[in-house]
Each structure stands twice: as C-alpha cells, then as structure tokens.
Structure 1
Amino acid sequence: MRDNNDMPGHLARRFQQIAVAVFHAEAEAAGYDLTPVQYAALAAISASPGIDQVTLAGLIAYDRTTITGVVDRLVQKGLIERRASSRDRRARELQITGEGRRTLEDIAPAVEAAQQLLVRGLSAGETEELMRLLRKAIAAGNELSRAPLREVATEGSKNG
C-alpha cells in the first residue's frame, strides 16, 4: 500500500486545504469575508463584464450548481449585480458594482500575501517549476474534471 505522501491526489488535496485556510486567514485579517471562489468569481466578472453564470462557471472551473450559490452571495454582499441580458432574455448578465471594484482593489495585497505564503518554503526557481508542473498536470487532466476550465469566447466567436 502506498503512503499518502506518495499519492498526487492526496498531496493536491492537502495543498488545496492549505491554500483555502491561508486565503481565509489573509482575507479576514484584511477585514474581508470573501472565500477563494468568491474572489475568483469577482475577479472574473470584473475582467469580463456582462458574462453569464454558465460562462463564469467555465471560466473559473466550477460546476453550475456551485456557481449559483457563489453568485447569490456576491449579489447579497452588494459586490455584483444580475441584469437581464440584452442578447438573450432568458440569460442574466453579471456586472461588478462600485463596491465590488473597491473590494477587489483593497483585498489585492491580502491575496498576494496568501499566494506568497503558499510557496514560502520554495526558492524562486522552485516556485516557477511548481507552477509550470501544476499548469501542465491541470491541462492534461482538465477534461477529467466535473467542472473543466473553459475559455471565454470572444464577441466574434460567440454563437447565437
């Protein structure tokens, strides 16, 4: 039987647990009640104003059920708004609010501190190598996920 420390799945889960704990601690210390997925969603909506929830889910690799709750909480916190789509009356577009923009700006140092804490035991070269290997492994396994990462289509390539 293999030791857990020889299993990539176990190590990935442990690293994720650490990443979430560090993010929460840094965000809380900065005075924010924001989870890593809420932050990812807020940043994605800021970068792609008007995206819908399905596109957002693909963009940050979360399943559609989970993203609904994330969006609901961001709306409740006043960080984003849902608006009727001008292109599809069934769809709802997501827009960041002024408060959401301020939150993204203000929490940025805490997010950066969290990222640095995650690799504090590594040299700069080791950090680059870890990031390269994580990207490679994730790209190779992306389609195996229940929520694969999807690229956002540009305006000219959207169907509809």
Structure 2
Amino acid sequence: MPGHLARRFQQIATAVFLSETTAAGYDLTPVQYAALSAIKLHPEIDQITLAGLIAYDRTTITGVVDRLVEKGLIIRTASSRDRRSRELTLTARGEEVLAGVTPAVEAAQQMMLRGLSQTEAAQLMQLLRKAIDHANDLSRAPYKPLPRR
C-alpha cells in the first residue's frame, strides 16, 4: 500500500538524516533544515509563508521557529509591512550551520536512494513529485509556493 511505503520511507529518511547530520556534529531536524534553507532563499519571510513553503502546519511551525531562535540560527523581527507579522532572517551562525550541514544532508539523500540506479532515483523523484502535486490539496499542511512577482 502506498501509504505504508511512504511512512516507511519517511522513517528511513528521518533516521538517515539524523544519523548523518549528528555524525557531522549538527543538532538539526529535517524540518529545521528545511526552514533554514527556505529562510536563506527568502530572507525576511514571515512564519505563515514559511509554513506554506515547507508544507508544515501553521501551529507547529511556531515551535520550529522558536527552537531555531533559541539555537541562535535565525532572528525574528517585527515586519515593516504588517505589524502583526514577524519576519525571519538567518543569523551569521545560521548561515554557517546551513553551509556546514549541507554536505551531510546531501550524503543522507544519496544514502536514502542507495539501492537505486541514477535513472531509477530520478524516476522515483519524478513520480513522488507527481503524486504529491496531485494530492497536495488533501494535506492538512499543503505546499504553498510564493506568488510570482
């Protein structure tokens, strides 16, 4: 069943990610890494937009952001555009951690797909994207891309 296989692959992916990043000396979860990566690409992004970009629910993203602030990896500042909104930016330490952990994350990605040829890995990624794109609206935390400017 696809749901069972997706859950098993997620278990493996998380275990491999944590193993590789911990061995490299970093204390980050996969969602924290995703958040740091998104904030790097979109400095001064607000929390709600961040949640949509990494397909995480709005309530739980607050805890993720809180932990990244506590670790000194991001700062949260009042938005100049909307007083109710908080903007997120990487700190120098956050930039350093993101750059340092990325090779471990890339190694984890390779390890997750180690039983597949390059062609099979590309096909798997293509099929996963296709399935996810067509079921995105069924998620409690759908992916929401930034509007084109």
Taking structure 1 as the reference length, the TM-score comes to 0.92
| Partner-residue secondary structure (3-state), 1:66 | helix
In the alignment, the residues of structure 2 paired with residue 147 and residue 128 of structure 1 have an alpha-carbon distance, to the nearest angstrom, of 25
In the alignment, the residues of structure 2 paired with residue 45 and residue 153 of structure 1 have an alpha-carbon distance, to the nearest angstrom, of 16
In the alignment, the residues of structure 1 paired with residue 82 and residue 136 of structure 2 have an alpha-carbon distance, to the nearest angstrom, of 29
Amino acid paired to 1:131: M
In the alignment, the residues of structure 1 paired with residue 121 and residue 62 of structure 2 have an alpha-carbon distance, to the nearest angstrom, of 34
| Partner-residue secondary structure (3-state), 2:130 | helix
> Which runs of no fewer than 5 residues in structure 2 stay unpaired?
none
Displacement of 1:96:
0.5
Displacement of 1:90:
1.0
Which of 27, 42, 45 matches 2:36? 42
In the alignment, the residues of structure 1 paired with residue 147 and residue 64 of structure 2 have an alpha-carbon distance, to the nearest angstrom, of 22
- Are residues 1:136 and 2:136 paired? no
Match of 2:70 in 1: 76
Displacement of 1:147:
0.3
| Partner-residue secondary structure (3-state), 1:147 | coil
Q: What pairs up with 1:19-58 in 2 under 5 angstroms?
A: 19-58=13-52
Please tell me whether Structure 1 or Structure 2 has the larger radius of gyration of its CA atoms.
1
Tell me how many residue pairs correspond in the alignment: 149
Taking structure 2 as the reference length, the TM-score comes to 0.98
Which of 121, 124, 142 matches 1:148? 142
Displacement of 1:113:
0.4
In the alignment, the residues of structure 2 paired with residue 42 and residue 128 of structure 1 have an alpha-carbon distance, to the nearest angstrom, of 25
After TM superposition, what 4+ stretches of structure 1 lie above 4 angstroms from structure 2? none
Amino acid paired to 1:64: R
Which of 47, 59, 66 matches 1:65? 59
Percent of aligned pairs sharing the same letter: 69
In the alignment, the residues of structure 1 paired with residue 108 and residue 62 of structure 2 have an alpha-carbon distance, to the nearest angstrom, of 26
Which of 103, 108, 116 matches 1:109? 103
CA deviation digits over 1:96-124, x for unaligned, max 9? Answer: 00000000110011000000000000000
Displacement of 1:153:
2.4
> Which runs of no fewer than 5 residues in structure 1 stay unpaired?
1-6
